[in-house]
Structure 1
Amino acid sequence: MGYLSIFFVSLALALADNHYCSTNKCTKDFIKILKKAESGDTKSQNKVGEMLHFGEGVEKNFSEARGWYLKASESGHAEAANHLGRLYFNGEGVEKDYKEACKWYKVSSERGDKNGRLNYKRCLKSSGT
């Protein structure tokens, strides 16, 4: 019984240290991925962005998602750039900005992301170029 109590106290302390989880419910998966993201893993940074964007294992938070997507994209992550484009296109956590969306779709496309390429082609068709 003592080990179980220690486990729950340790878990509570770990969650209290994390600003995403101190007021929100978080899954163990989110916490695990967040630790990797905080250590600089770009794939995990993108995944944390997705989890925050879609409310998977943590409460939805578009502006925090944007920050993680930006961090991953600045390190070369193609899918994160596409996600940034989506945020700007839909006005999720940011003001709708079609030009900014297309800029990020282009970055994603240039890095080889299939969805980024499709979204960027739509931008080109819409602008008439």
Structure 2
Amino acid sequence: MSRHQENIALAQSVYDCGFASDWAKLETLLCDDFEIVEPAGLSFGGAYRGKDALERVFGSVLGALQPRDVQLKSMTANESQVVSLLDLVFDSDDGDFIMPVAELFEIEGGKIKRMLPYFYDTAVLDRFLRDRAKD
């Protein structure tokens, strides 16, 4: 298996463990000084640090977002990074509301060092979440 394939498998394992709530296994995939930085413009924005950061993020981010589905579209990698493209799918009065997201995984020593999620349009997502909260 090439380094690129190993890195994609590592990033996929992060998703698999997170969605299965297997926090103990997930922590083995992360560097001791792991960091995930959510966009500052969203209610859950900011930097989360430490091996338990993803558990805290899953609780706050998915708790705030409550997507109906997370659809992984693709992953690509180089020697030290993986980029995944995914769609967050929400129910709305007008049908599905879809927010495209790109997540950058930075890898060091065979573990995830940092994750940086990029939401296609944080203003539109924030407005959708506020409007949904009014209902």
Normalised by the shorter chain, which TM-score bucket?
under 0.3
Structure with greater proportional strand content: 2
Structure scoring higher RCO (CA < 8 A, sep ≥ 6) equals: 2
User: Given the two structures, how large is their TM-score scaled by the length of structure 1?
Assistant: 0.25
